[in-house]
Amino acid sequence: MSIKVAILGFGTVGSSVARILCDLKPQGVELTHIFNRSVARKRAEWVPSTVTWTESFDEVLASDANVIVELVGGLDPAGEWVRRALEAGKSAVTGNKKLIAQHGVELDRIARAHGASLFYGAAVAGGIPVIPGLQHGLAGDQVTRLEGILNGTCNYILSRMEEGAQFADVLKDAQSLGYAEANPSEDVDGYDARAKLVILSRIALRADLAVEDIPVRTITSIAAIDFEYAGELSCTIRQISRAETRGGALLATVGPMLVPKNSPLAWSRGTENMVLVGGKYGGDVVFSGHGAGGHPTAVAVVSDLITLAHGSGNIDLPSRKAEVSGEFLLRHYIRFVVKDRPGIVGEIAGALAGEQINIHALFQRPGFGKDSLPFVVTVEPCTNSALKRALAKISSAEWLAEPPLDLQILEPEEPLK
């Protein structure tokens, strides 16, 4: 089988896809159309003259291209274009995590109904073959746990902060390097990673989650001092996307967490992505590599095209709607910044005890003034909501110099010292 490919969106990833197709000329994959608004300014001399450049999606739809590659991004109009292509029996390949997280189940259904295929290997972890690995290499396991570093921008920021840099400075660097948008909320507040976690959960845990149901926490509240205290616990801090089946329930959350330094997740540096998949039969498998960037992401797109050209359809593994809870039973790290006076620890202990939460340890570094004294309490496994109730009780204490920061501690493989 040979496929004729139309690329929608000739931006960072779209132009890399065209570049790889022109360089490697994979057998059975022919680039026929490139679609973009104001397409004239996009024309590149290295694209063969046989390729049609167009500003009209209808022209693409009416053409003999039988696969569209959607790299426009966003829900609208990209979603509408994918839907119309599938309804016309054309297969689609996309890197649009937002679209697949929100509408993947429905689009999969439309594809099936029209004898088409929908591939989105590029939507999660760019050039790392997590999705094909899960669909073709781990379908024979029962996956019960996912832990991932799914946002390269957060990982760049946190791994630089680990080395001593300040949040604001690193964010500025990330923006000037093109890793972060002018408005970084999508990345730092966890929305980008959450969309990817929804997609992975569907494939690995066979659970359809509603995006909004997964609690997110921002990394903007992490300060340099937190890396110092994390270090005392043999941990670092990373933005972790986590989902786990426990009994019939599904736990999922995205946000900064303490990660033990002996965990592979702590070894990720820079914009690297990493995904850990825990299976009942095969144990833990880890994937890592470049999660973003035009070329790595384009590798995933071109790989999907090659799979299609070999006549392979989707591996449809049945998934079902699942309720999400963020109530992992985990140890927590709580950083207080207080105006020092006697009795504070007693009040904190009392508030925690009221929710049956046991203190595990207390850390206080020297060298801070009495007016703004940071110290850390770690607690035995408890749920987020129990901890929230406990902290609410002391939220108006006059000795609090700022609201406390609580972070889950990723279950270590060996007990924390």
Q: Which residues are catalytic?
A: 196
Report the C-alpha gap between 312 and 239 in whole angstroms. 35
CA dihedral 387, 145, 127, 74 (to 10 degrees): -60
The answer to whether 120 touches 300, Cβ cutoff 8 Å, is no
- Give me the phi and psi of 330, to 5 degrees please: -135, 155
Q: Which residue has the tokens 């073959």?
A: 129
Q: Which amino acid is at 45?
A: E
Give the shortest CB-154-to-ligand NAP separation in angstroms.
Answer: 14
Which SS3 state, helix, strand or coil, does residue 327 take?
Answer: coil
Residue 59 structure tokens: 């022209």
Q: Which run of H or E residues covers position 416?
A: none
From the number of C-beta atoms within 10 Å of its C-beta (0-12, 13-18, 19+), residue 203 rates as buried
Residue 309 structure tokens: 């050209």
Choosing from 313, 349, 364, 389, the residue that interacts with a second copy (CB under 8 A) is: 313
Given a second copy, ligand NAP, none, residue 283, with its beta carbon under 5 to 8 Å by kind, binds a second copy
Q: Does 303 bind a second copy (CB under 8 A)?
A: yes
User: Is the preceding omega at residue 26 within 30 degrees of 0, hence cis?
Assistant: no
Given a second copy, ligand NAP, none, residue 52, with its beta carbon under 5 to 8 Å by kind, binds none
Give the shortest CB-19-to-ligand NAP separation in angstroms.
Answer: 12
Sole window of 21-29, 104-112, 210-218, 222-230 interacting with a second copy (rule: CB under 8 A): 21-29
Q: Does 142 bind a second copy (CB under 8 A)?
A: yes
Give the shortest CB-77-to-ligand NAP separation in angstroms.
Answer: 6
Give the shortest CB-73-to-ligand NAP separation in angstroms.
Answer: 3
Residue window 84-123: x/- pattern of binding to a second copy, with contact defined by CB under 8 A? -------------------------------------x--
93 vs 171, beta carbon nearer a second copy:
93
Given ligand NAP, a second copy, none, residue 329, with its beta carbon under 5 to 8 Å by kind, binds none
142 vs 185, beta carbon nearer a second copy:
142
Report the C-alpha gap between 49 and 3 in whole angstroms. 18
Q: Does 178 bind a second copy (CB under 8 A)?
A: no
309 Cβ contact partners less than 8 Å away, ≥ 6 residues apart = 1, 2, 3, 26, 27, 28, 29
Residue window 22-51: x/- pattern of binding to a second copy, with contact defined by CB under 8 A? -xx-xx------------------------
Q: Which residues bind ligand NAP (CB under 6 A)?
A: 9-14, 36-38, 71-73, 77, 95-97, 122, 126, 292-294, 297
Q: Does 252 bind a second copy (CB under 8 A)?
A: no
Q: Give the closest residue to 148 by CA, choosing from 197, 78, 86.
A: 197
Sole window of 3-11, 46-54, 288-296, 340-348 interacting with a second copy (rule: CB under 8 A): 288-296
- Give me the phi and psi of 53, to 5 degrees please: -95, 135
126 vs 404, beta carbon nearer a second copy:
126
Q: Does 134 bind a second copy (CB under 8 A)?
A: yes
126 vs 148, beta carbon nearer a second copy:
126
Q: Angle CA(388)–CA(390)–CA(394) in degrees, nearest 5?
A: 105
Report the C-alpha gap between 411 and 68 in whole angstroms. 42
For a second copy, the binding residues (CB under 8 A) are 16, 20, 23-24, 26-27, 121, 126-142, 264, 267, 279, 281-290, 295-296, 298-307, 310-318
